[in-house]
């Protein structure tokens, strides 16, 4: 008899990665349209948890209007003789995986950023109560992580109740992150890897080091160590560091070997502390994107919750599309908020000296980690809404990137007038001709370009230095 016989829809690994479009959605839980949403796991005493209990506080699925969106919280309490508080983050991250095992249920992101969609099809099949989801989670957690002896699940949909626990959850996440600060990458001989997101980004491998927190911001090096210990064959595993090839960029032979293996040969090199060259891959559930702004030769940063467009006119969702999918994209880099608090943050690119713009909300969250002399030099949406405004702001505040801009020079034309009459002449012929503009690289293969006239101008305004 199947473990899920009493569940009205199928449950299995084959549903991981299933995308549900809005037009096929019965209800949305969490996401950008609501302010408060969370998932939280707490370790409790054996006598404090009623095994298998599922509670719903607020409207149940069947009471929700078709197409509606709701504040949402998943609160899981676990108990077991060997369970320690250190494992809370690891158990919590599995909520993403196990929810996605349920046919017609899509779970994205983590912690305070969760977003779920239930499909109309699964709702019509009878998945109309949180009890079913709670039962599935209870059974999967207990069978996959036997260290959990008892587990109870509470779903919150009542707006005020969600908000109440949301505030508490934020404090708990912060305390967890703070515990993991202080340890240096050089002080450990092992890193940890995670491939939980491969269902959505098949070549993505997170490399979790003490000073480079996972992209989702939900798994620290300590969490990785705990997870690899309790479930060594699971999605989180040990990476032997191997030889340090480049301390500035953060390249390790052991990381390269493991990532190559786990990405099935797709990714062969990783530079941990840079957004250029061979940056750490980006899955899709990163908390923020660091994006190169060529006009000022600096990095902008935008977090998932930012609803406006950024300084380059693009919204988070557009920048995230250019970044995600398990790729290494030069100048587009998925990061966690916690990584911004690390001394290794974009170290090879200049660290905070290279950051030029970020939303006020995220600046506030990391303000204690921005070097004091730079804090006023990084613009927010209040100071700059366009790259021209940004350029003026950076100049006015003497941001370190300004010193790297080339001096303005007079426009100079070097082609004689009679060249107007000259026949078309090839100005470029190459096997591959890379053009870089606006953060994109376009490669023309076997290109031959003809022009009637060639005008060579020096740049009219300050030009970014070469990376």
Dist CA 408 CA 274 (whole Å): 29
- Binding ligand SF4 by CB under 6 A: which of 119, 199, 215, 263? 215
Nearest approach in angstroms of CB 174 to ligand SF4 is 18
Cross-strand bridge partners of residue 432? 445
Report if residue 379 touches ligand SF4, rule: CB under 6 A: no
Nearest approach in angstroms of CB 117 to ligand SF4 is 19
Q: Is the Cβ of residue 195 or residue 356 nearer to ligand SF4 in the bound state?
A: 195
Six-digit token string for 304: 């998932």
Report if residue 180 touches ligand SF4, rule: CB under 6 A: no
Dist CA 129 CA 360 (whole Å): 39
Report if residue 61 touches ligand SF4, rule: CB under 6 A: no
Which helix (H) or strand (E) covers residue 333, if one does?
Answer: strand 332-335
Nearest approach in angstroms of CB 216 to ligand SF4 is 3
Dist CA 106 CA 115 (whole Å): 8
Q: Which of 130, 154, 136, 175 is nearest to 49 (CA)?
A: 154
- Binding ligand SF4 by CB under 6 A: which of 76, 162, 216, 378? 216
Report if residue 314 touches ligand SF4, rule: CB under 6 A: no
Query: Total residues contacting ligand SF4 (rule CB under 6 A)?
Result: 13
CB atoms within 10 A of CB 247: 13
Q: Is the Cβ of residue 206 or residue 394 nearer to ligand SF4 in the bound state?
A: 206
Strand order across the beta sheet in which 72-79 lies:
37-43, 72-79, 150-156, 54-57
Six-digit token string for 352: 């905070």
Segment 81 to 140, residues that bind ligand SF4, using CB under 6 A: 93
Segment 181 to 210, residues that bind ligand SF4, using CB under 6 A: 194-197, 206
Dist CA 211 CA 224 (whole Å): 13
Dist CA 96 CA 368 (whole Å): 31
Within its chain, how far is the Cα of 397 from the centroid? 30
Nearest approach in angstroms of CB 270 to ligand SF4 is 13
What string marks each residue from 232 to 271 as x (binds ligand SF4 by CB under 6 A) or -? ----------------------------------------
- Binding ligand SF4 by CB under 6 A: which of 219, 301, 314, 348? 219
Segment 266 to 295, residues that bind ligand SF4, using CB under 6 A: 283, 285
Where on the chain is the footprint of ligand SF4 (CB under 6 A)? 93, 194-197, 206, 214-216, 218-219, 283, 285
């Amino acid at each position: 008899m199947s473990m899920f016989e009493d569940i009205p829809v199928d449950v299995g690994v084959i549903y991981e990665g299933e995308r549900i479009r809005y037009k096929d959605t019965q209800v949305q839980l969490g996401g950008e349209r609501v302010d408060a949403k969370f998932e939280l796991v707490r370790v409790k005493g054996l006598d404090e948890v009623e095994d298998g209990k599922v509670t719903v506080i607020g409207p149940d699925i069947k009471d929700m209007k078709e197409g509606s969106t709701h504040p949402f919280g998943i609160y899981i309490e676990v108990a077991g003789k060997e369970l320690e508080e250190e494992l809370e983050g690891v158990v919590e991250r599995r909520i993403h995986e196990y929810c996605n095992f349920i046919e017609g249920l899509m779970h994205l992101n983590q912690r305070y950023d969760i977003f779920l969609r239930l499909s109309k099809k699964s709702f019509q099949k009878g998945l109309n109560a949180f009890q079913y989801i709670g039962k599935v989670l209870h059974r999967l957690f207990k069978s996959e992580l036997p260290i959990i002896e008892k587990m109870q699940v509470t779903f919150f949909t009542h707006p005020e109740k969600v908000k109440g626990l949301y505030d508490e959850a934020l404090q708990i996440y912060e305390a967890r992150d703070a515990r993991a600060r202080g340890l240096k990458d050089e002080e450990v001989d092992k890193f940890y890897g995670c491939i939980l997101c491969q269902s959505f980004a098949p070549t993505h491998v997170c490399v979790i080091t003490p000073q480079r927190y996972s992209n989702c911001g939900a798994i620290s090096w300590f969490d990785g160590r705990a997870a690899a210990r309790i479930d060594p064959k699971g999605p989180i595993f040990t990476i032997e560091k191997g030889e340090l090839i480049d301390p500035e960029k953060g390249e390790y032979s052991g990381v390269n070997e493991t990532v190559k293996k786990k990405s099935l040969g797709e990714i062969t090199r990783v530079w941990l502390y840079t957004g250029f060259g061979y940056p750490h891959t980006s899955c899709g559930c990163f908390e923020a994107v660091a994006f190169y702004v060529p006009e000022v030769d600096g990095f902008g940063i935008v977090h998932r919750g930012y609803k406006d467009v950024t300084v380059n006119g693009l919204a988070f969702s557009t920048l995230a599309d250019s970044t995600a999918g398990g790729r290494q994209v030069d100048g587009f880099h998925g990061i966690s908020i916690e990584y911004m608090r690390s001394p290794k943050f974009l170290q090879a690119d200049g660290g905070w000296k290279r950051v030029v713009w970020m939303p006020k909300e995220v600046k506030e969250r990391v303000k204690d980690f921005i070097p004091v002399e730079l804090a006023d030099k990084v613009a927010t949406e209040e100071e700059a809404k366009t790259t021209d405004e940004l350029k003026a702001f950076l100049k006015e505040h003497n941001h370190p990137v300004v010193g790297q801009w080339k001096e303005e020079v007079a426009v100079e034309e070097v082609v004689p007038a009679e060249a107007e009459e000259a026949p078309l002449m090839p100005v470029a012929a190459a096997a591959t001709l890379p053009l870089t503009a606006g953060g994109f690289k376009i490669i023309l293969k076997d290109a031959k370009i003809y022009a009637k006239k060639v005008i060579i101008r020096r740049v009219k305004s300050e030009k970014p230095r070469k990376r």
